Amino acid sequence: MTPVKGMLDLVLHFTGCNGIHKSFKHSVVVSDATSHDLMIGADFLLTPWRVMENSTHLYLSNTYQGFDMRNSDYIDTSECCKVPLLRPANKWISAISTRTITIPPDCTANIPCRVAMKNMGLTDSQVPFEVALVSLPYASTPNAICYLQDYGNFNIPIKNDSYDDLMIYPGTDFAQIDLYEDDAKIYPIQVMPGNAVQTFSINRVAFVDKDEYMSEEEKEKAFDEFLEKGTFTPSMSV
């Protein structure tokens, strides 16, 4: 366990390269376990303050930036604080959408996609990868390891965190993926009796796990179908 000295409310000030200044009140944990003066994590970056992010900039706003009703895939960032990002050299690969997908507010869908390099196709075995960056406005992805066996046809789960429908059209460069190296080791989790409930809540989405009319086997099949197709059909009570 990391020792913690306490909590502190800070006001974070950002001045973007476009000259726009924004301030945000944020609670942070105080600890001697790191040499960094300040570390900003997902508790800040996955709030409505983060409008969107790409490989070079982070767009912040303290008001909700709605989608243009005349152009549903466009969002105005002209009033956002445009913060430059310094990223280390990486081997991220762009993921390009291949179908038109509409994600309702506060919903998740699997986005069919391919990598940007069209010369990459089928592989001999499944390749593990992680989504390093989602470059859509008010969108996120679960912190999980995904797998692909065809660089030209695989899915990435995307959650719409906005109050509007999120439209993703074919040819959209919407994410960056990070492939695991060949020597990366992935260890299975052993489920102990006392941890069964918590483990199921992590491995299965809540609306599947809480369906009281399904058996455990039916829940596993329903969860697999949700991962594959992005859809879930609730059971019917007798």
What mean pLDDT, rounded, does the chain reach?
78
State the pLDDT at residue 126: 85
In this prediction, residue 197 carries a pLDDT of 47
Band of residue 219 on the pLDDT scale cut at 50, 70, 90: confident
Q: Which two tokens stand for residue 103?
A: 């994600």
Could you count the other beta carbons within 10 Å of the beta carbon of residue 57? 18
- The residue behind tokens 């439209």 is 167
Percent above pLDDT 70 for the chain: 75
- In this structure, the chain runs to a length of 238
Instruction: Identify how many contiguous H helices and E strands the chain contains and give both numbers.
Output: 4, 16
Query: Which H, E and C letters describe 184-197, residue by residue?
Result: CCCCCCCCCHHHHH
Provide the sign of the torsion angle of the four alpha carbons 58, 60, 64, 66, taken in this order.
negative
Residue 133 CB: number of other CB atoms within 10 A? 19
Please give the domain boundaries of the chain with CATH numbers for all domains.
6-84 (no CATH), 93-179 (2.70.40.10), 193-229 (no CATH)
CA distances from 184 to 95, 151, 156, 229 (A): 22, 19, 21, 28
pLDDT band at residue 193 under the 50/70/90 scheme: low
Q: Report whether pLDDT(88) > 60.
A: yes
- Give DSSP secondary structure letters for 84-141: E--------EEEEE-S-EEE-TT-EEEEEEEES-TT--EEEEEEEEEEEEE-STTEE-
Q: How confident is the model at residue 177 (pLDDT cuts 50, 70, 90)?
A: very high
CB 99 within 8 Å of CB 170: yes
Closest CA to 205 of 235, 237, 229, 227: 227
